[in-house]
Chains A and B, each alone.
Chain A
Amino acid sequence: MAAGLKTIIALSFVLAIGFLLVILSAALFHNFLTLLVVATYVIAPLPNWICGKCANPDDFMGEAGYAVVDLGRFCTGFLVVMGVALPVLLAHCALIQVPAMAMSIIGGLLIYGTIISFTQFFKEEQDF
């Protein structure tokens, strides 16, 4: 089984590091705008999940099913790039400092990577 206990422990460890980096980037500089990154990355997989449930994957001729799935993917792509672009924007406009930007980007990517990995493992468990 791919998703063993060790994998879950490692993933939660990475998730904790990600949250630590983002919260530090906010608390160290007394500027809590970087917490927006966490919100962005947490809602990033949601459009994919919701639209995946809405579409009927068995119906190959259905136009609407593919359109909904594509909309979900479009929104996910938008949100993932937003998670990187938002700290860069804030740093460029001197609303946060550059170290805070770097920490929040790395932390956000770790959080998003953890969410995606969890989804992949759960998907493998459901397939039999």
Chain B
Amino acid sequence: MESNRLFRKFPTPAWMNNANVRTAGVYMSGALFSLGFFLFLDAAVYSHSAKNGSDIHITFVDWIPLICSTLGMLVINSIEKTRLNADSFSYSGNGVAWKARLVLFLGFALIAGGLAGSVCVLVLNYVVVEASVQTMWMGIANVLGNALVMLSCVVLWVSQNMEDDYTYNLAL
């Protein structure tokens, strides 16, 4: 198991295989996702409230990066981790690991695309028209929200990999 891990260059420290740390990681992931989502929702509500003094409003286009990030997170965490190292004879069909890695790549591409798209929206909608700081915060919140969703995905991934090691130790 230890030699078959995906990133075997980085050994996991001993405290990470604790079940409590794993639980805390999953909770933390949910909290980070919530923080990212509400950061952007705050910007969206703000843009349609009376406090917004500019002509720039958040439309559906601004929501697309966050939707991409969320979909990417769903894809990445839906993959069963053991499939990534599965040899062709251990599961049904050929090239299971290859297919799993392709889907994983799609998930990463969605998340990276979401982050890049939010930066794109920030530049095109706010920086180019030289918006004021209060208005530009709506674009910055978009980028921060996507970055927090990405961080949440990383935390969830790491916690679930912890779970694999933990389960394996118990099974032996």
* In the complex, A106 has a CB within 8 A of chain B: no
**A78–B30 CB distance below 8 A:** yes
Q: Residues of A within 8 Å of B, CB-based: how many?
A: 23
* In the complex, A81 has a CB within 8 A of chain B: yes
Q: Mark B145-172, 1 if CB is under 8 A from A, else 0.
A: 0000000000010011001000100110
Interface window among A12-20, A23-31, A60-68, A113-121:
A60-68
* In the complex, A57 has a CB within 8 A of chain B: no
A contact patch SS: helix
If the complex has contacts A60-B167, A85-B35, A93-B42, are A77 and B49 also in contact, measured as CB distance less than 8 A? no
Residues of A close to B28: CB separation below 8 A: 77
Residues of B close to A76: CB separation below 8 A: 27, 30
* In the complex, B88 has a CB within 8 A of chain A: no
**A81–B30 CB distance below 8 A:** yes
Residues of A close to B31: CB separation below 8 A: 77-78, 80-81
Q: Mark A93-125, 1 if CB is under 8 A from B, else 0.
A: 111000000000000000000000000000000
Residues of B close to A78: CB separation below 8 A: 30-31, 33-34
Which one of B26, B34, B159 contacts A81 once the chains associate, using CB atoms below 8 Å? B34
If the complex has contacts A89-B45, A94-B50, are A77 and B34 also in contact, measured as CB distance less than 8 A? yes
B contact patch SS: helix
* In the complex, B38 has a CB within 8 A of chain A: yes
**B42–A92 CB distance below 8 A:** yes
Q: Looking at the assembled complex, report how far the CB atom of A31 sits from the nearest CB atom of chain B, in whole angstroms.
A: 14
Q: Looking at the assembled complex, report how far the CB atom of B162 sits from the nearest CB atom of chain A, in whole angstroms.
A: 11
Once the chains are docked, how many angstroms separate the CA of A66 from the CA of B50? Answer: 46
If the complex has contacts A76-B30, A89-B38, A89-B41, are A66 and B163 also in contact, measured as CB distance less than 8 A? yes
Once the chains are docked, how many angstroms separate the CA of A80 from the CA of B50? Answer: 28
Binding site for B on A (CB under 8 A): 60-61, 63, 66, 70, 73-82, 85-86, 88-89, 92-95
Known A-B contacts: A81-B30, A89-B38. Give 4 more (CB < 8 A): A60-B167, A70-B159, A74-B26, A93-B51
Top 9 A-B pairs, shortest CB-CB distance: A77-B30, A81-B34, A85-B38, A74-B30, A77-B27, A93-B49, A78-B34, A73-B26, A78-B30
The contact sample of 20 A-B pairs, CB cut-off 8 A, is A61-B167, A61-B171, A63-B80, A70-B26, A70-B163, A74-B29, A74-B156, A75-B30, A76-B27, A76-B30, A77-B28, A77-B34, A78-B33, A80-B31, A80-B34, A81-B31, A85-B34, A85-B42, A93-B42, A95-B49
